[in-house]
Amino acid sequence: MKKLIVLLAGGFLSACATGYNPNYYFNELQVVNLAGATIEDVNLTVAAYPNSLSCQEVAKFAICDDRFGKRRYLQQGIQLSWTHPDGSRRSDTLNPRVPAFYNAALPLRIVIEVLEDGSVKAFYEQEEPGRDGFFTSLR
């Protein structure tokens, strides 16, 4: 038992010393409208990538999304701008945390929720194959 504890502690310390820095990948962007009314001129840009997600209108409780090939996420921020139902132009720079538990073999989905008060919630989701062959969402 002592050998196991020493071995695990040594592995942990060496991982910290080597600066463990995993690569994260994403293949989908989603903007979910929870603002209570239609939002307009939605633009979502991930830093370091020329492509962006753009939707003229996103109806109440609707999703604006785009899927593409797997890309490495460099964790440099996500820029969102939109016209809120009250007519004001809003923008926010986001940097959501990668989930503690995820399957590295599958890419992540970046999800941005626009809330009724104008605030924004950003997180990652991931589809994971279940035992029955269907995919379930991890948050």
Q: Tell me the domains of the chain and their CATH numbers.
A: 23-138 (2.60.40.2890)
Q: In terms of pTM, does the model score above 0.95? A: no
Closest listed residue to residue 86, CA positions, set 38, 139, 49: 38
**Helix/strand number for the chain, H first, E second:** 1, 9
Distance, in Å, from the CA atom of 119 to the CA atom of 65, rounded to the nearest integer, reads 19
**Predicted confidence pLDDT, tens digits, the chain (139 residues):** 666 566 666 666 655 555 555 677 888 999 999 999 999 999 999 887 766 889 999 999 999 999 888 888 777 788 999 998 889 999 999 988 877 777 777 888 989 999 998 899 999 888 766 554 445 555 5
